[in-house]
Structure 1
Amino acid sequence: MVETSKGGLFNTEKLIFGIRQVTQITGVSSRQLRYWEQQNYISPIQQKKGTSRQYDMHTLLKIANIQRFLSQGFTLSVAVEKAIKVGREAPLIRDFVLSRMNGVNIESDDRATIDFGFLDDSHKQRVLGVIDHGKTSFEIIDEV
């Protein structure tokens, strides 16, 4: 595993995407991207004059989320607000889940459980996240 200062598998700040790659990945046209830049919704990374636009992973995810919300029927300004909110919430959710996750048990193609550890300091019950036939739920089980 490659460690980074943020504890991830790799340093996502070094993942750089050209404008063509961004359009292919997200389905957002280069014309739309330029408009979003003019509106200060997104920003390319600093670049040398005469080179094509490049975007970091954070901006790529923001673009993908804006596009997702637009496809759900939201206006551009609302889609941008929602994408900003997702961008703020996602690291918190990731950090919480990773700090609580003790393991994954793949029971079959249709069922898996995620062990989130003990419910409280009594260590009498465990919290499991369950994925069963595409549906998610939680189970609290007694420790034996």
Structure 2
Amino acid sequence: MTNGTRADLRELFHKGQLTIGISELSRMTGVSPRQLRYWQKKGYIIPKNEDEPGQARVYTMKMVIKAAAMSNLLQTGYTLKAAAAQVDERMRPAQTIYHLLADRYQGYEVADNGQILVDLGPFDPQPDQELFVKLVGDKVKFELKDKQE
């Protein structure tokens, strides 16, 4: 059986790992840099490095998605405030899933039969057990295993 570590997923999906500058964000969304700076001033988009005055603005993929979605909604007649609120609401489920996975993901195991078991850490009602999830065909199945010390 082979194992993957928690760092595997975190390295791929770490918040803020992939960033772009304001010029790239402008090109990707069709929103002028001036307008993006206004959105930032209003608090609708936030650069990753907002705590570093004097540095060029860089944006995470989350802000890229938000800015693109806001731009699309503005083109359909939404106000800026309404577009930002709508995008925030639409992004909530994805953010919840991201946080759940980032918090619970401990790594993975590949069994001798090739089955991938994703380790979700201690099973809260039974902390001496580890919770794993796997795909069997197209069905999600959970499995409890004795905690490895």
Pick the TM interval, shorter chain.
0.5 to 0.7
Measured against aligned partners, the alpha-carbon deviations of 1:39-92 in whole angstroms (never above 9, x if no partner) come to: 111111225443321111211111111112112221111101111112212244
Q: What CA deviation, in whole Å up to 9, does each residue of 1:15-39 have, x standing for no partner?
A: 1110011111111110111111121
Q: In structure 2, the residue corresponding to 1:4 is in which secondary structure?
A: helix
Q: Distance in 2 between matches of 1:78 and 1:16?
A: 26
Partner of residue 65, structure 1: 69
Distance in 2 separating the partners of 1:91 and 1:49: 27
* 2:44 alignment partner, one of 23, 30, 41: 41
In the alignment, is the contact (CA less than 8 A) between 2:18 and 2:61 conserved in 1? Answer: yes
Compared with structure 1, are the counterparts of its residues 31 and 103 closer, same or farther at alpha carbon in structure 2 (3 Å cutoff)?
farther
Query: Is 1:75 matched with 2:79?
Result: yes
**Contact 2:20 2:59 (C-alpha < 8 Å) held by counterparts:** yes
Task: Report the RMSD for the aligned CA atoms in angstroms.
Answer: 3.1
Work out which structure has the larger RCO, using CA pairs closer than 8 Å and 6 or more positions apart in sequence: 2
| 1:14 paired residue number | 17
Number of matched pairs: 104
Residue 64 (structure 2) pairs with residue 53 (structure 1)? no
In the alignment, which residue of structure 2 is the partner of 1:141?
A: none
Q: What 5-or-longer segments of structure 1 have no aligned partner? A: 105-114, 119-144
8 Å CA contact 2:49–2:55 kept in 1: the answer is: no
User: Which runs of 5 or more residues in structure 2 are unaligned?
Assistant: 102-117, 119-132, 142-149
Q: 2: distance between equivalents of 1:29 and 1:103?
A: 48
Residue in structure 2 matched with residue 27 of structure 1 by the alignment: 30
Q: Percent identity?
A: 32
Change in CA separation of 1:101 and 1:90 when aligned onto 2, cut-off 3 Å: farther
1:99-114 pair list within 5 angstroms? 102=135
Deviation at 1:117, TM superposition (A): 5.0
Q: How far, CA to CA, are the matches of 1:101 and 1:61 in structure 2? A: 30
- C-alpha separation between the residues in 1 aligned to 2:92 and 2:75? 21
